[in-house]
């Protein structure tokens, strides 16, 4: 006698259970992939923002170390530049923060921040020729080099502040007998429409000038 073949297939319940387990597995794998992708995007944005922000701080720090602070109150009127502040006199009125430095050959340079909502950038300003010849420098477009900007390196600058110690020239007769230092506070944000990648950093550093005149 020949054995009868078992032609019985899967039951509907078994099929439903199999499909359910498969669907749950796919959803779990997809969720892990999406979470991994988001974390990767955030980590990449954070690293890019940190690299560009630190690079800019290093440039500013190097110039402060190697050059002389031109004005210890660059944003106050009634000082070295007369009725207006030195930032307004040399740079123009469109910059919320600046520091003016003087090189050994007398050339003036500056770091400035335009913090208006449609800009939020940091510039390194080196006017061509005699730094005193043309004022304000704002009309000399080629003098401005972008260091941080949304269209340059996807960085939005929310704030940039310079704090001087002492707040008056220490090298004048009777001035404070202190080596000048500058503390920089900067807050930057990665410019993206992806919420997960909208990271920010607040950086601070203090630089002591190498210029010694006693």
101-122: buried (b, 16+ CB within 10 Å) or exposed (e) per residue? bbeeeebbbbbbbbbeeebbbb
Secondary structure percentages of the chain, helix, strand, coil, to 5: 35, 25, 40
Low-confidence ranges of the chain (pLDDT < 70): 1-10, 12, 14, 33-36, 129-135
Tokens representing 149?
């900007």
Q: What are phi and psi of 176, to 5 degrees?
A: -65, 135
Q: What's the pTM?
A: 0.81
Predicted confidence at residue 136, as pLDDT, reads 76
- Residue 43's φ and ψ, nearest 5 degrees, are -65, -40
38-64 as b/e: b if 16+ CB within 10 A: eeeebeebeebbeebbeebbeebbebb
pLDDT of residue 21: 79
Distance separating alpha carbons of residues 63 and 46, to the nearest angstrom: 26
CA 59 to chain centre: 12
What does the pLDDT read at residue 131?
53
What is the model's pLDDT at position 33?
Answer: 66
Q: Is the dihedral of CA 68, 70, 74, 79 positive or negative?
A: positive
Q: What is the pLDDT of residues 120-136, one digit of tens each?
A: 999 999 987 665 555 67
């Amino acid at each position: 006698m020949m054995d009868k073949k078992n032609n019985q297939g899967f039951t509907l319940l078994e099929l439903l259970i199999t499909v359910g387990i498969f669907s749950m597995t796919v959803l779990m794998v997809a969720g892990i992939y999406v979470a991994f992708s988001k974390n990767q995007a955030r980590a990449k944005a954070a690293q890019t923002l940190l690299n560009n922000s630190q690079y800019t701080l290093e440039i500013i720090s190097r110039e402060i170390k190697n050059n002389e602070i031109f004005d210890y109150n660059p944003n106050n009127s009634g000082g070295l530049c007369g009725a207006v502040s030195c930032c307004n006199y040399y740079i123009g009125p469109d910059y919320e923060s600046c520091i003016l430095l003087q090189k050994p050959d007398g050339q003036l340079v500056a770091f400035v921040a335009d913090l208006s909502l449609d800009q939020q950038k940091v510039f390194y300003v080196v006017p061509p020729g005699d730094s005193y010849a043309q004022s304000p420098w704002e009309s000399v477009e080629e003098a401005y080099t972008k260091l941080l900007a949304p269209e340059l390196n996807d960085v939005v600058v929310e704030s940039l502040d310079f704090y001087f110690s002492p707040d008056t020239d220490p090298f004048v007769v009777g001035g404070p007998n202190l080596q000048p230092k500058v503390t920089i506070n900067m807050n930057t944000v990665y410019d993206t429409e992806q919420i997960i990648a909208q990271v920010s950093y607040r950086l601070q550093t203090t630089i002591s000038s190498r210029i010694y005149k006693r």
